[in-house]
Chain A
Amino acid sequence: MADRELTFEIFRYNPQKPEVKPYLQTYKLKETTGMTIFVALNQIREEQDPSLMFDFVCRAAICGSCAMVINGRPRLACKTLTKTLPARIKLFPLPVFKLIGDLSVDTGTWFRHMSLKTEAWVHTSKTFDPKAQEERMDNETALKIYEAERCIECGCCIAGCATANIRDEFLGAAGINRVARFMLDPRDERTPAEYFEVVGSEEGAFGCMGLMACDDNCPMELPLQMQLAFVRRKMASIGIGYKPGKGIKLA
């Protein structure tokens, strides 16, 4: 295994130079033990092609920077060992997100927009009293919130989602999961109707076709299927009597 020669076919395109059409460039590399796509791409950049663009920050599946389509599947490149792949490895940037260049896409802007649309912060009327003891919370509740908060905004669920690929403003599994995170949080004072404003539409919970590509693609193994069902159930129960046309808050 350690003796394999790997062939990388990598998508190249610089949106600032539209006159050069997108193309696939081939690089060859000797596989080493424990090699990940992170290790391989850096080696290619340092030894063969210093112009190659890609993003890594934590190289430990924590920061969500490095998602790309690896042999047809959206995954975290830092968390993908080459030994789990055939010797020909095709790398493409994530679809849906704006391309910055080669394998680098602008997930940051997408996710900030999603946070704004879903007002992803604790809505509370309380102000901080430096002298007071903290309000109590049941540890089980804390853990449940954390479970939903574990999303690292990598975009894998969005890239693989049929709805997100055709509908620009679709919140995607990550967006709906984000809403679930705040619904689970007793500190957030939003009413069901207010949440409905945020996710009770085709751009939110009702746009989802339930094919669950998102669930399979999530590197954090978040229970997306469960969260989608949770939010949809909640929305359906208050949706009776909902007047369309009022719409959801869009940025």
Chain B
Amino acid sequence: MSTYKTLITDVLVVGAGLAGERVAVEAASHGLDVIILSLVPPRRSHSTAAQGGMQASLGNCAMGEGDNPDVHFADTVKGSDWGCDQDVARLFVETAPLAVREMAIWGVPWNRVVAGKRTLPDGRVIEEKKEKEGLITARDFGGTAKWRTCYTADGTGHTLQYTMDSMVIKMGITVHDRTEAISLIHDGEQCTGVVARCLRTGDLRVYIAKSTVICTGGYGRLYSASTNAVINEGSGMFIALNTGVVPLGNMEAVQFHPTGMVPVWILITEGARGDGGYLLDKNLYRFMPDYEPKKKELASRDVVSRRMIQHMRKGYGVDSPYGPHLWLDIRHLGAKHINTNLREIANIARNFAGIDPVKDLIPVRPTQHYSMGGVRTNIDGAAYGLKGLFAAGEAACWDLHGFNRLGGNSLAETITAGRIIGKKVAEYTLGATLSYNYELVDKAVKEQENRIKALVNGWNGKENVYELRKLMEQNLMDYVGIFRNGKDLQKAVDNLRELYHRSLKIGLRSNGEGANPELAQALRLPGMIKLALCISYGALMRTESRGSHAREDYPKRDDANWLKRTLAYWPEGADLPELKYEPVKITELPPGDRGYGESSAESQGGKNG
């Protein structure tokens, strides 16, 4: 007979990043009882790492003049390469300005408009208007028609998360940190909560809820080079996938950031290029203007990343023990600018690579950065397949980003979707009654207990969890990167499938007692490999190029066959996902040229090199 603690609540939010806390605040303000679970204290969530800013069309600054939700909408849809749902994009752009202003009331110290003339790094002179002084300002960020990215110096994610968490504390919302949801409790139709493992003691706990909301962030750490925090392992996504009835949307849509710093893969924000930084090759030649004469270093992320890879493939990369890379040059911005406006970047270079960007070049290369795919939901955030299950933030495929997320749109998504979906969760929960089946709960716990016993005792085998993990990371990095082709993708699928089987035979090296970290990793790895398979198999099947998904063997976007979203299901006992497709919602803007990357010639990238 198992003994475990059971907690009951109205709303269970899994994840305490910006999306999770915003949902929780909304639900609690409707008078509902809310519990938030998190791997780490909320303020350590990955959201705090976002430095650049968030998009909202306030149009207060000079370079944002004339901005409005329509322009933001067009940027978002084009950015997504028409892969997003346009009704969702519309709702998002209309709500984002509100969400920003609300965060201002709650305490975010947004940077404000300062009236007067100033010279931009490229020599243009702009004038901020007196009548706008003191309103929330914005900066430039890759791929937008207007300056629309609201920010607080170099710590936007930090101030947003601290402010949001101050609301959670003020409202007295219960947070169980160091608690990991390891499976969903459901009967194939209704989700009634989760089985969780305490990361302080190793004990299992049960949370029963009328509604469960997955806000667990991205899966960046499936790749060996990722800008993401080390806890971003996609666990919320695979516990949903494991139900067999909840699909993940567009998992093949993976964004790379052009400038991860070699070799620790810490992100050097767009701010560096936004403020006038250059990309140089091994001959210290500034190559981006050759490829993208208009936008240069500021073309959209997928375009810049691809140009960098293309240029390195032509032999212009700088050799290093960690593979070829390029240089980011911000020296010409001057010590004062670097040490104030770009302080965080300067610190990163100094502390983690021992170089001084005032004098030195920063080694960079494209690095995995953002997961567009995730738990597929409708516009209300309700997951497909199970009642009482919702998802928001990077863990979800709401689907605002389609095949490419605009820089600054994901922070905006967390608080905007959190606001909207939180309300829908509250409405649903207020109308729901708590009913759950005791046997179902017990069975769900037993299943996890048995997995743990098998791992600890090595009943299924003696595979080493860390070795398998490295192989998974390497396969994604080598074969499911920025440029993809059928041959490599097939290799990835074959290898990962074998790895999946091996992951079912993991045995621990340590004793697995208490909050043992090896056990935590071993419990996650099979799910992580499932996600890796959803990504590679989805990419293999999608025989076109769209947004961040660039096939060398199918370099063109193919609207006739592929203007649709991949839905990956994992049937019980399978070793490959089952793929289904659904049409994307086009309500306003018919598919056209993306426009801003100069080159839809971008799709020739593969062919050229």
Contact = CB atoms under 8 A, between A and B. Distances in A.
Contact of A149 (B102, B158, B231, B516): B158
Contacts of B155: 146, 149-150
Given A16-B514, A60-B348, A65 B136 contact: no
B49 A64 contact: no
B497 interface: no
Contact of B44 (A33, A57, A79, A132): A57
Contact of B40 (A49, A57, A60, A135): A57
A136 B231 contact: no
A119 B167 CA distance: 10
A34 B515 contact: no
B107 A185 contact: yes
B101 interface: yes
Contact of B352 (A14, A36, A55): A36
A53 B200 CA distance: 11
B541 interface: no
Interface string A146-167: 1001101100000000000000
A149 B162 contact: yes
B511 interface: yes
A211 interface: no
Interface in B99-154: 100-102, 104-107, 109-114, 133-137, 152-153
Given A45-B517, A57-B44, A138-B134, A122 B352 contact: no
A64 B42 CA distance: 11
Interface of B: 40-41, 43-46, 48-49, 98, 100-102, 104-107, 109-114, 133-137, 152-153, 155, 158-159, 162, 165-167, 169-170, 175, 177-178, 200-201, 229-231, 263-264, 266, 321, 347-348, 351-354, 465-466, 508-511, 513-518
Given A100-B515, A112-B41, A149-B159, A58 B46 contact: yes
Contacts, number: 189
Contact of A122 (B106, B136, B348, B514): B106
Contact of B134 (A53, A128, A136): A136
A149 to B, nearest CB: 6
Contact of B518 (A50, A55, A112): A50
A136 B133 contact: yes
Nearest to B262: A34
Contact of A121 (B166, B230, B508, B513): B166
A138 B114 CA distance: 8
A61 interface: yes
A132 B135 CA distance: 12
Nearest to A47: B466
The 6 lowest CB-CB distance pairs between A and B, nearest first, are: A108-B41, A136-B134, A50-B518, A51-B510, A121-B166, A145-B109
